[in-house]
């Protein structure tokens, strides 16, 4: 059992939790994820590690309510216990393998879409602690669903915020900001893009034209997260990869996004059905982008 030591509701559908998980906290690195089960009989929910404190034995997760499992977790309070919390899973970000000198010699750009801000944060923080200041673009549909702005500000070099509807920061999609920065004469050596698949796809399309190598973090449907079921398989450079053990981060230029999006959406009907059934009488929160 894993205690929820802090809960912070970031907006109507997104929530941050600090969870006591000593073994995981002692070993995790940016880029990895955990699998959570709220209670006996519940689904296994993969969530990216958003922060961690090895000394206190605490791992931070940020999640969005999109279905039955995440809704149940949203309703849990500080002091309550998650039934299962497995991790860290997946490979750490490649940045964690590089020497500080090599990192310092690079200009790195992070691109976070919506909830992707949360998984981008530990990577930017990791670099910041090594004395490397990376630029960060954060995009959200609208001002109200922007998360973790202050935290990000504290660790990022230049922080560029943009909203699709122009309600805050710059206006337009993250891809527009990348183009604008390049037009302003900026240049980067590496881009890390994390967000909805559709965003990552278009970021890669652009960065390929710009000759800017790009890493993406994939979040396909998973069951076990240990390489046992193959549900998370993706095509990366004509090879089949399991996101939970070979990833979740991959070279964005090699990922077959169209195939990946198709696979993710296919389960929507099947998995989403349960949720909609449960939700019929309640007010639908909207804004998560998961339901059509």
Partner 1 sequence: MTTDVNTRVPVREQDAEVRAHNFEEVCYGYNEEEAVCESTRCLTCKNAQCVKGCPVAIDIPAFIEQVKNENFEEAYQIISRSSSLPAVCGRVCPQETQCEGKCIRGIKGDPVSIGKLERFVADWAREHGIRPEGPSGKNGKKVAVIGSGPAGLTCAGDLARLGYDVTIFEALHEPGGVLVYGIPEFRLPKEDVVLKEIDNVKGLGVKIETNVVIGKTVSIDELIDDEGFDAVFIGSGAGLPKFMNIPGEQAGGVFSANEYLTRSNLMKAFKEESDTPIYRGRKVAVVGGGNVAMDAARTALRLGAEVHIVYRRSEEELPARVEEVHHAKEEGIIFDLLTNPVEILADESGWVSGMKCIRMELGEPDASGRRRPVEIPGSEFTMEVDAVIMSLGTSPNPLISSTTEGLEVNKWKCIVADEENGATSKEGVYAGGDAVTGAATVILAMGAGKAAAKGIDEYLRAK
Ligand X SMILES: Cc1cc2nc3c(=O)[nH]c(=O)nc-3n(C[C@H](O)[C@H](O)[C@H](O)COP(=O)(O)OP(=O)(O)OC[C@H]3O[C@@H](n4cnc5c(N)ncnc54)[C@H](O)[C@@H]3O)c2cc1C
From the list ligand X, ligand FES, partner 1, none, partner contacted by residue 37 (C-beta under 5 to 8 A by kind): partner 1
DSSP assignment string, 209-248: HHT--EEEE-----SSSSSSS-TTEEEETTEEEEHHHH-S
Residues 6+ apart with CB under 8 A from 289: 114, 141, 196
Closest residue to ligand X, judged by C-beta, is 67
- Rounded to whole angstroms, the Cα distance separating 82 from 248 reads 23
In the complex with ligand X, which residue's Cβ is closer, 171 or 277? 277
In angstroms, the CA 242 to CA 221 distance is 11
Does 38 bind ligand X (CB under 6 A)? Our answer is no
Options 18, 20, 37, 175; binder of partner 1; rule CB under 8 A: 37
Q: Binding to ligand X by residue 261, rule CB under 6 A?
A: no
Question: Which residue in 130, 210, 229, 254 binds ligand FES (CB under 6 A)?
Answer: 229
Site membership for partner 1, residue 230 (CB under 8 A): yes
Site for partner 1 contains 271 (CB under 8 A): yes
Alpha helices in 22-74 (DSSP H): 22-27, 68-74
- The one among 6, 8, 9, 27 contacting partner 1 by CB under 8 A: 27
Residue 8 in the binding site for partner 1 (CB under 8 A) = no
How far is residue 236 from each of residues 48, 71, 89, 98, 160, measured CA to CA in Å?
21, 32, 19, 23, 30
DSSP secondary structure letters along 162-186: EETTSSSBEES-HHHHHHHHHHTT-
Nearest approach, Cβ of 211 to ligand X (angstroms)?
28
Residue 58, φ and ψ in degrees, nearest 5 = -120, 135
Record the tokens describing residue 63, joined without a space: 């999640």
- Among positions 52, 242, 257, 275, the unique one binding ligand FES when judged by CB under 6 A: 242
Which 3 state secondary structure label does DSSP give 45? strand
Q: Contact 110/192 with Cβ under 8 angstroms?
A: yes
Instruction: Map residue 132 onto helix, strand or coil.
Output: coil
Q: Does 290 bind ligand X (CB under 6 A)?
A: yes
According to CB under 6 A, which one of 15, 58, 161, 232 is a site residue for ligand FES?
232
Contact 85, 34 (CB under 8 A): yes
Rule CB under 6 A: is residue 271 a binding residue for ligand X? yes
Query: Which of the listed partners (ligand FES, partner 1, ligand X, none) does 12 bind, with a CB threshold of 5 to 8 Å by partner kind?
Result: none
Among positions 106-165, residues that touch ligand X (CB under 6 A) are: 115, 118-119
Nearer to ligand FES, 201 or 241 (CB): 241
- Which residues make up the interface to partner 1 (CB under 8 A)? 23-24, 26-27, 37, 41-44, 68-69, 83-89, 223-224, 226-231, 233, 235, 240, 245, 259, 262-263, 265-267, 270-271, 273-274
- Which residues make up the interface to ligand X (CB under 6 A)? 33, 43, 45-48, 62-64, 66-70, 115, 118-119, 219-222, 248, 264, 267-268, 271-272, 274-275, 290
- Which residues make up the interface to ligand FES (CB under 6 A)? 222-225, 227-232, 242, 244
């Amino acid at each position: 059992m894993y205690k929820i030591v802090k809960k912070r509701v970031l907006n109507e559908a997104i929530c941050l939790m600090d969870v006591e998980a000593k073994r995981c906290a002692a070993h995790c690195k940016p880029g990895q994820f955990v699998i959570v089960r709220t209670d006996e009989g519940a689904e296994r929910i993969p969530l990216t590690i958003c922060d961690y404190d090895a000394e206190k034995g605490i791992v931070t997760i940020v999640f969005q309510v999109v279905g039955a499992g995440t809704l149940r977790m949203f309703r849990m309070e500080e002091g309550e216990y998650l039934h299962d919390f497995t991790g860290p899973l997946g490979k750490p970000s490649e940045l964690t393998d590089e020497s500080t000198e090599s990192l310092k010699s690079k200009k790195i750009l992070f691109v976070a879409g919506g909830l992707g801000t949360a998984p981008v944060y530990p990577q930017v923080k990791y670099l910041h602690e090594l004395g490397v200041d990376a630029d960060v673009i954060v995009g959200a549909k609208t001002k109200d669903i922007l998360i973790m702005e202050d935290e990000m500000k504290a660790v990022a070099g230049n922080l560029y915020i943009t909203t699709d509807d122009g309600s805050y920061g710059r206006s337009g999609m993250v891809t527009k900001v990348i183009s604008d920065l390049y037009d302003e004469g900026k240049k980067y050596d590496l881009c890390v893009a994390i967000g909805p698949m559709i965003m990552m796809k278009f970021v890669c399309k652009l960065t390929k034209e710009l000759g800017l190598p790009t890493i993406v973090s994939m979040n396909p449907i998973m069951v076990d997260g240990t390489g046992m079921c193959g549900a998370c398989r993706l095509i990366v450079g004509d090879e089949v990869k399991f996101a939970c053990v070979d990833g979740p981060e991959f070279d964005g230029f090699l990922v077959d996004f169209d195939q990946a999006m198709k696979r993710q959406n296919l389960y929507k009907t099947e998995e989403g059905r349960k949720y909609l059934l449960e939700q019929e009488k309640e007010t639908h929160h909207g804004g998560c982008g998961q339901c059509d």
